Amino acid sequence: MTTTDAQRLAQDLAAQIDRHRGLYARGMPELVDADYDALEEELRALLAAHPELELADNPLERPWAPELVPGQTIRHSRPMLSLEKATSDAQLEAFCARFPGQSFTVTPKLDGISLAVAYRDGALEYVATRGDGRDGERMTDKARLVVLGLAQEVDLPGRVEVRGEAVMLQSVWAAYNEAHPDRPLTNPRNAAAGTLVHKSPEACVAEGRTLRFFAFDLDEPDLGDGDVSERLTRLGFEAPDVFPAADLDAVRAAIAEIASRRDGYDFGIDGAVVRLASRRAFVAAGANTAAPRGALAWKYPAEERETILRAVTWPVGKIGRVVPRAQVDPVFVGGTTVTYASLHNPRLVAERDIRVGDTVRIMRRGDVIPFISGSVRERRTGDEQPIVLPSVCPSCGTELVVRGTGEELWCENLQCPAQAVRRLIHWASRHAADMEGVGTTWIEKLADDGALERPSDFYALTAERLIGYERMGDTLATAMVASIDRSRRLGLRRALIGLAIPMASEGVAKRLCLAGFERLEEIAEASAEQLEAIRDIGPKVAQSISAYFGRPEVRDEIAALRAAGVDLDVRDEDRPVEAADAADTPLKGATVVVTGAFADPDSGAKVARPAVVRMLEQAGATSASSVSASTTILIAGDNVGAAKTDKAAKLGVEVVGQDQAWRWLAEAGLR
Ligand SMILES: [Zn+2]
C-alpha cells in the first residue's frame, strides 16, 4: 500500500470510528462491540505499519467525544477517561507486569452511565455525565430525583468528588416493563441513559423508572492510602463488590469469581475492572491521553444462546440502508429477551450460510443490538429456506443499489416514504434541530397524514392546524409550535447533521464549519475535489456529500428551509479560531507541521497532538499534516525519526523543538 492510500484509508477508518462513537453515545449503536473494536484494531494496525502517517485528529488518541449541549457543560476537575480494554490473558499479564510488587483490586464493571458527583463543604454542588471526558453535561436536578443512592450531602469539608455508575437495576427494569407493556424499555442501559435525559424526572419517579448509583472512585483533599470502597461506604455510598488481589493469579481468580456471580447481580455487567489497590500508586501511574495507566477493563466474552430463525425482514434505515433483520423465537441472552436480531449485512448472511428455519446462535455483548453469529448446521432438517435478498426497496419499490464491502443494499430514492419519516425524526432530534416539544409519535402521525413530508414542512405547522388532531390540546400544540420556532436558529453545523447526508458524521459537519464555509449553499456548490481538500475528509465522504447536494430535490429543500426563516449559516461557536488577533510571534502566518510526542513544560504531562495543533492555530499558524515545500516550520516533539527532520532540512524548512514552540505559545499568551 502506498503512503497516500494508507493515509486515505486511515482517514476513512477514523471517520467511521467517529460516526459509530456518535451513534453509540446516542444510544443507537449500529455495530456490535466486536465489529467496532475491529475498526479500532484496523486503524491501530495501519498506523503501526505506516509510522509516517500523520492523522491530525486521531480518534484513538482521544476519549470518546459525544456532542455536548453548550451551556449545560462543566469542565471535569480531572478528565473522566474510559479504561483501556483487555480481552486476552496476555494483555492482563502485561498490565500486571507493569506494576511489579503492587497489589490490585478487582470489581465488577457496571454497564451504566458514568457520573461525577461533586460536593463542596459537604453540600452537593453538581452531578455531571462523562461527556467527552473533558467536559460533562450537568444533570444535577434530574439526577437528584431519579438517581437513588446519591448522597445529598457528605460529611467531609472542602471539595470532594465521587465518581461512579448510575444503572437501572434489572428488577426495576422488569417491573417497569411489566407495568408499561405498551412502551417497554429495550434494555437497562439504554433505559438508564433515557431516564437521565428524560424531560420530566418527576414523571419517571412516579412511574418507578429510577436508577441506582454505585460509587467506585473518590477525590478528596487529603488523599489517604486506605481502601476507597470502605471510604465510600462510610460516606453513605453503595459500592460494588471489591476483590483484593495480590498478584496476577489472584486477579485471574477474582475475574472468574465475578463471572460466576454475574447472573446473581441485579445489574448488568460487561466485565471487571482491575485497578492498582493503592490510591497513591494509581495517581502516580498517571494517564495517557485516552486512559489512566493504573486500571484496566477486562471484557467478558459475549453471551451466546441458541434459538430458531423464523423470518428475515428488510426495514429501510434513515439514510436509505436496507438491512436484514432477523425475527427469532424469544430467547433470554445478555440480560434481555431477544426477539429481533441483526444479521449485519448481505455479505455476512451469504458467508455464514444462514437460512430461515435454522437453529442460530444469538450473541449479545453489553448494550449493543444482539446479532446472529452463525447457524448450527447439524440441526438442519432440510426444510430450511435460503434468505432471499430484495431487489427493490420494500417501502417504495425503487431498485436497490449494492454498495461497500458488506454488499449493503441501499434505496437511493430521497422521496422514499420509509426514509422520509426517519429523516423527519432525525431532523427534529437533539443533535440537529432539537425540537424538544415534538415527539416521535406526533411526527409519525403528521407524516402519515401528509402534513409532514420534509423538514421544511415543520415550519409551516400552526397551533390551529395541530389542534384539529385527536388528543392534541391547546398547551401541547402551543408548546410544539414554540419548539419548532426556536429551532429556526439551527445554524450550519446542526443543519448538516439534520440532513443525514450519507457518510457525513457529526465530525464531518464540524470540519466543514471549521473549513470556513459560511452558508449551506456554499457547501452545496462545492465540488468533491474541493471537499476532499479539507483536512480529514476522505474521498468517499467527499463524493457522498457532493452527490447528495447534486440532487435537485435537495436544492429545493434548502431553498424551502431558507424561505421558512431557518438559519443555515455558520454560528460563531463553530467558526475557526480567529488567528488575526494573535500576538506577533514566528508562528503567526506560518504553515507548521507537528510531529512527535509533546509534554507540558511545567507539569511534564503528555499533551495530545491535536491540542498542540489547536494552540498553534490560535497563535496564528496554519497546520498541515505532512512536510512539503510550503511548510514554514516543522515542530518536532520527542521521539522523532531523523528521516522526518532530514526531509524538512532538505526542503529548507526550519525545524524547532518543542521547547521553542512552548516559548512562542507563551509569548502569544496561550499558556
Ligand atoms: Zn425506498
Q: What is the pLDDT of residue 366?
A: 54
- Residue 238 domain-assigned? yes
| CATH at 216 | 3.30.470.30
CA 322 – ligand 1 centroid, Å:
9
One domain, residues 281 and 147: yes
**CATH number of the CATH domain containing 422:** 1.10.150.20
CA dihedral 85, 90, 95, 98 (to 10 degrees): -150
Q: Indicate the range of 324-328, 409-413, 544-548, 618-622 predicted with least confidence.
A: 618-622
Domain of 367, in residue numbers: 304-391
User: How far away, in angstroms, is 42 Cα from ligand 1 center?
Assistant: 33
Query: Environment class of residue 327 by beta-carbon count within 10 Å: exposed (0-12), middle (13-18) or buried (19+)?
Result: middle
Of 280, 299, 318, which closes a domain?
A: 299
- pLDDT band at 66; cut points 50, 70, 90: very low
311 and 289 in a single domain? The answer is no
| Average pLDDT of the residues in 146-172 | 89
In-domain check, residue 410 = no
Q: Is residue 498 part of a domain?
A: yes
On whether the CB atoms of residues 176 and 126 are closer than 8 A, the answer is: no
- The CATH number for 386's domain is 2.40.50.140
Q: Are residues 103 and 251 in the same domain?
A: yes
pLDDT at 68 (0 to 100): 40
Give the number of domains in the chain. 5
For residue 39, what are the CA distances in angstroms to 35, 44, 241, 304, 503?
A: 7, 9, 33, 22, 16
What is the domain-level CATH number for residue 10? 1.10.287.610
Binding positions for Zn(2+): 393, 396, 411, 416
In the prediction, which pLDDT does 186 show?
66
CA 623 – ligand 1 centroid, Å:
43
Rounded to the nearest angstrom, the distance between the alpha carbon of 538 and the centre of ligand 1 is: 27
pLDDT at 70: 43
Residues 81 and 125 in one domain: yes
Whether 158 and 197 share a structural domain: yes
Residues 185 and 309 in one domain: no
Residues 90 and 181 in one domain: yes
Residue 618's CATH number = 3.40.50.10190
**For residues 362 and 72, which has the higher predicted lDDT (pLDDT)?**
362
Average pLDDT, integer, range 439-463: 88
Which amino acid appears at position 153 of this protein?
E
| Closest by Cα among 307, 302, 250, 238 to 274 | 250
Going from the Cα of 421 to the center of ligand 1, the distance in angstroms, rounded, reads: 12
Nearest to 131 by CA among 194, 198, 61, 82: 82
Mean pLDDT over all residues of the chain? 84
Cα–Cα dist 454/444, whole Å: 12
- Cα of 318 vs centre of ligand 1, distance in Å, is 10
- pLDDT > 70: percent of the chain: 92
Q: Is the pLDDT of residue 661 over 80?
A: yes
From the list 637, 632, 523, 520, the residue with the least C-alpha distance to 587 is 632
Within a domain: 423: yes
Domain annotation covers residue 397: no
23 three-class SS: helix
pLDDT in tens, 578-632: 655 667 888 888 889 988 888 888 878 788 787 788 788 878 888 787 788 788 8
Residues annotated as binding site for NAD(+)?
A: 33-37, 82-83, 130, 165, 299
> pTM score > 0.85 for this model?
no
CA pair distance 472, 465, nearest whole angstrom: 10
405: pLDDT confidence band, cut at 50, 70 and 90? confident
Among 61, 90, 106, the domain boundary falls at 61
Mean pLDDT of 103-108: 93
- Boundary residue ending a domain (373, 391, 409): 391
- With respect to residue 581, please indicate whether it lies within any of the assigned structural domains: no
Identify whether 431 is part of a domain: yes
Whether residue 128 is found in the same domain as residue 273: yes
Could you list the residues known to form a binding site, using ranges: 33-37, 82-83, 130, 165, 299, 393, 396, 411, 416
In a domain, 396, yes or no: no
Q: Indicate if 452 and 508 belong to the same structural domain.
A: yes
Active site residues: 109
> 87 and 147: one domain?
yes
Q: Are residues 550 and 609 in the same domain?
A: no
What are all long-range contacts of 182-186, with beta carbons under 8 Å and residues at least 24 apart?
185/209, 186/336
Claim to verify: residue 78 and residue 23 sit in the same structural domain: no
